């Protein structure tokens, strides 16, 4: 896969997607949003990619937000379209991705950058990371899911404070808030993401996809996540992975999933 604003490396069943506009602190312009959609669409069917790590190029930024220079002249309708299209093609697409997506936050994750990290299934950060939703300082509100996902992850009060103050929190505070799971040095960030990815790769990818769907359904209006859990639990019993996992346990062996 070749892109103008992304780099994608696939090795040992791990695909690492780098947002690659370091001179603009990896800000998400329309072209990058489109490329992210294409990259994830293609990774969905790529048998060589089982776990995805999402990160930014350079030592300064994961993503410093949506590209402000592109939307500063937008009308009401264009603003609404920007949010709707971005949410559908990238942010919801990643949140509902059937393969695990880990965000490795390597610096500024602001606005659309934090929203992108929050659309991943979980996050780790380097100790130089700064996270925030500064949109209200620009006269807009978060438009790529931030008003919904931030309260889900850190609680309503903390989310309200972050959105209203438009301030940034450091990596340790993000960990204390439950926004990121682990904090490490910049050098150790990708190795840690790979270590976690490899741990995931020991398990049944089929079961993991079913679990992602069930967990996500907890947050969808009008959908009963418990019902999804019951259905997906039941379906697991019909899979080769279930036979492999249970037989391996009973025979005191390590499972070898497809």
Residue numbers at the binding site for ligand COA (CB under 6 A): 24-25, 27, 64-69, 108, 110-112, 134-135, 138
Q: Do the Cβ atoms of 121 and 98 come closer than 8 Å?
A: no
Cβ-Cβ contacts under 8 Å for 98 (sequence gap 6 or more)? 44, 209, 212, 213
Report the DSSP pairing between strands 61-63 and 101-105: unpaired
Q: Is 194 a catalytic residue?
A: no
Q: Is 115 a catalytic residue?
A: yes
Instruction: State the minimum distance, in angstroms, from the CB of residue 26 to ligand COA.
Output: 8
Count of alpha carbons within 13 angstroms of residue 101, beta-carbon side? 25
Query: Which residue number, 79 or 191, has a Cβ lying nearer to ligand COA?
Result: 79
Cβ-Cβ contacts under 8 Å for 222 (sequence gap 6 or more)? none
Query: Which residue number, 69 or 96, has a Cβ lying nearer to ligand COA?
Result: 69
Instruction: State the minimum distance, in angstroms, from the CB of residue 2 to ligand COA.
Output: 24
Question: Beta-strand (E) ranges in 111-244?
Answer: 122-126, 130-132, 168-170, 182-184
Instruction: State the minimum distance, in angstroms, from the CB of residue 67 to ligand COA.
Output: 4
Instruction: State the minimum distance, in angstroms, from the CB of residue 139 to ligand COA.
Output: 10
Query: Which residue number, 68 or 201, has a Cβ lying nearer to ligand COA?
Result: 68
Considering the candidates 135, 187, 188, 240, report the single residue annotated as catalytic: 135
Angle between helices 156-165 and 146-154 (to 10 degrees): 130
Query: Which residue number, 105 or 211, has a Cβ lying nearer to ligand COA?
Result: 105
Considering the candidates 11, 115, 227, 240, report the single residue annotated as catalytic: 115
Residues marked as catalytic:
115, 135
């Amino acid at each position: 896969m070749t892109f103008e604003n992304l780099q994608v490396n696939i090795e040992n069943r791990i695909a690492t997607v780098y947002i690659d506009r370091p001179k603009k602190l990896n800000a998400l312009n329309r072209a990058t949003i489109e490329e992210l959609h294409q990259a994830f669409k293609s990774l969905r069917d790529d048998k060589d990619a089982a776990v995805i790590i999402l990160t930014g190029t350079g030592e300064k930024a994961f993503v410093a937000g949506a590209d402000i220079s592109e939307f500063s002249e937008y009308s009401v309708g264009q603003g609404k379209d920007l949010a709707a299209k971005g949410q559908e093609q990238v942010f919801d697409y990643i949140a509902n991705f059937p393969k695990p997506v880990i965000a490795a936050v390597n610096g500024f994750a602001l606005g659309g950058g934090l929203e992108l990290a929050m659309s991943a299934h979980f996050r780790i950060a380097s100790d130089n990371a700064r996270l925030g939703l500064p949109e209200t300082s620009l006269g807009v509100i978060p438009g790529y899911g931030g008003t919904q996902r931030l309260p889900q992850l850190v609680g309503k009060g903390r989310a309200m404070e972050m959105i209203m103050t438009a301030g940034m929190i450091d990596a340790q505070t993000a960990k204390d808030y439950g926004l990121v799971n682990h904090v490490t040095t910049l050098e150790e960030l990708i190795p840690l993401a790979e270590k976690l990815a490899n741990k995931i790769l020991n398990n049944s990818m089929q079961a993991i996809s079913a679990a992602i769907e069930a967990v996500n359904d907890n947050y969808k209006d009008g959908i009963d996540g418990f019902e999804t859990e019951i259905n997906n639990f039941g379906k697991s019993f019909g899979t080769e992975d279930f036979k492999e996992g249970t037989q391996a346990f009973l025979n005191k062996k390590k499972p070898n999933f497809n």
